[in-house]
């Protein structure tokens, strides 16, 4: 049987390659940082990691993780309700609750699991979920697991959201689901407007804040602080795998009763091993660094503003915004990949994003700024982008 199925798969893979959409995985030979080694033996400038605050290679976070490994062991070999809960897990949940300004928090092995275990636990066929059309795949997959009625609204379009809320008026409960920041574009969701509509139409609000927690807002709490709606969001999901250390681990934070029910019924929580204790220890230290000083957040904002200004001056097509995700729009998938490959030869590590990660015809090189980048790093990156643009006749 596998022979014919193998031929079917090979044809699909050939088609992906012919369209210029095949995604190669480059191998890094060093720890994650602003500068990384690749298998060619070269050191290159890393301009595409989610390492917003530069904590993935921060010595204090690494030290805390080592100490956590020594104190708490390598892994739990269990789920939370059997024998997989240590004091350090409860400490991290409380610290996240305090930091985010919520009522309670539950840890998951990833935010993908947090979103995957959310909707089917809380909602049934009597309810409705109204989801932004550009929401992350984990939200989409989580919603698919629920029997609730599904409606979509155009990205950040409040008029369309209101129409969908009216469409869902007969549902028992209505939940609006949105990314806090849309990772392919760097656009920030208008959460104040969403909360106003939620109040008007008696709906709950869920926000996936993976690309905001730790650096967006005056104190780095995330998109809800940036939009001045702390306390008005019912459910916040997020990750430790980006700004908060860059390892792995996710969470759902929000209303006390919601978190309590997730502990009882959420399948990824009940049936997946507990977050490794060394990751919890590193996450606690990352929160110490975020809350102890604004230095890293300030540097990140300055880096993003500088790179955006310089690239705009050189005539690159950038999506507007002030988030450290700065997409350089190319359009054609093959051209975007060729540009990313050319930049690597010049010492700049970037990746081309194309369908199905982004819509067809909207291929891009999504650059991401980090507090770990120096001004010299960014000046070098801008110069290499300019050189490749000229060489390719773009």
Tokens of 119: 């909707």
CB 80 within 8 A of CB 251: no
Mapping DSSP onto H, E and C, the string for 13-47 reads HHHHHHCCCCCCCCCECCCCCCEEEECCCCEEEEC
The yes-or-no answer on residue 211 being catalytic is yes
Alpha carbons within 13 angstroms on the beta-carbon side of residue 104 total 10
Q: At 125, is the secondary structure helix, strand, or coil? A: coil
Q: Tell me how far apart the alpha carbons of residues 25 and 15 are, in angstroms, rounded to a whole number.
A: 18
CB atoms within 10 A of CB 289: 20
CB 250 within 8 A of CB 237: yes
Q: Tell me how far apart the alpha carbons of residues 190 and 200 are, in angstroms, rounded to a whole number.
A: 16
CB 248 within 8 A of CB 57: no
The yes-or-no answer on residue 242 being catalytic is yes
Query: Per the residue annotation, which of 183, 253, 266, 272 is the catalytic one?
Result: 183
Closest C-alpha to 93, from 223, 246, 268, 251 = 251
CA quadruple 33, 39, 42, 45: dihedral positive or negative?
Answer: negative
The yes-or-no answer on residue 169 being catalytic is no
297-302 CB contacts, 8 Å cutoff, 24+ apart = 297/53, 297/215, 297/220, 297/371, 299/371, 300/52, 300/53, 300/215, 300/324, 300/369, 300/370, 300/371
- For the stretch 364-386, what's the b/e string if a residue is b when 16 or more beta carbons lie within 10 angstroms of its beta carbon? bbbbbbbbbbeeebbebbbebbb
DSSP secondary structure string, 235-286? Answer: EEEEESSSSS-SS--EEEEE-HHHHHHHHHH-HHHHHSPPPPHHHHHHHHHH
Query: Per the residue annotation, which of 136, 211, 224, 323 is the catalytic one?
Result: 211
Note the Cα 189 to chain centre separation in Å: 14
- Residues labelled as active-site residues: 183, 211, 242
């Amino acid at each position: 049987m596998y022979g014919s199925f193998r031929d079917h798969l090979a044809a699909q893979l050939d088609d992906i390659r012919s369209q210029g959409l095949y995604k190669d995985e480059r191998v890094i030979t060093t720890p994650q940082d602003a500068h990384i080694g690749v298998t060619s033996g070269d050191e290159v400038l890393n301009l595409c990691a989610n390492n917003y605050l530069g904590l993935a290679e921060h010595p204090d976070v690494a030290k805390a993780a080592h100490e956590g490994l020594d104190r708490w062991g390598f892994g739990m070999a269990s789920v939370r309700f059997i024998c997989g809960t240590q004091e350090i897990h409860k400490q991290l949940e409380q610290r996240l609750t305090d930091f985010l300004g919520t009522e309670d928090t539950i840890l998951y092995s990833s935010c993908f699991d947090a979103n995957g275990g959310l909707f089917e636990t809380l909602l049934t066929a009597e309810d409705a979920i109204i989801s932004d059309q550009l929401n992350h795949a984990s939200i989409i997959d989580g919603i698919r697991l629920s029997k609730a009625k599904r409606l979509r609204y155009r990205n950040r379009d409040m008029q369309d959201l209101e129409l969908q809320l009216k469409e869902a008026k007969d549902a028992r409960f209505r939940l609006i689901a949105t990314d806090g920041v849309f990772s392919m574009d760097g656009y920030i969701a208008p959460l104040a407007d969403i909360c106003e509509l939620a109040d008007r139409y008696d709906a709950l609000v869920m926000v996936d804040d993976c690309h905001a927690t730790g650096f967006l807002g005056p104190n780095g709490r995330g998109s809800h602080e940036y939009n001045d709606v702390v306390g008005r969001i019912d459910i916040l999901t997020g990750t430790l795998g980006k700004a908060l250390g860059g390892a792995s681990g996710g969470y759902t934070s929000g209303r006390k009763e919601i978190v309590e029910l997730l502990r009882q019924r959420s399948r990824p929580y009940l049936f997946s091993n507990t977050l490794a204790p060394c990751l919890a220890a590193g996450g606690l230290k990352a929160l110490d660094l975020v809350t102890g000083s604004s230095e890293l957040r300030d540097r990140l904002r300055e880096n993003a503003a500088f790179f955006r200004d310089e690239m705009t001056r050189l005539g690159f097509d950038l999506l507007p915004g002030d988030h450290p995700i700065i997409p350089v729009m190319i359009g054609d998938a093959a051209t975007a990949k060729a540009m990313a490959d050319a930049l690597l030869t010049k010492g700049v590590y970037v990746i081309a994003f194309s369908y199905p990660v982004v819509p067809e015809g909207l291929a891009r090189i999504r650059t991401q700024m980090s507090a770990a980048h120096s001004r010299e790093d960014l000046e070098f990156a801008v110069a290499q982008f300019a050189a490749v643009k000229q060489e390719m006749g773009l």
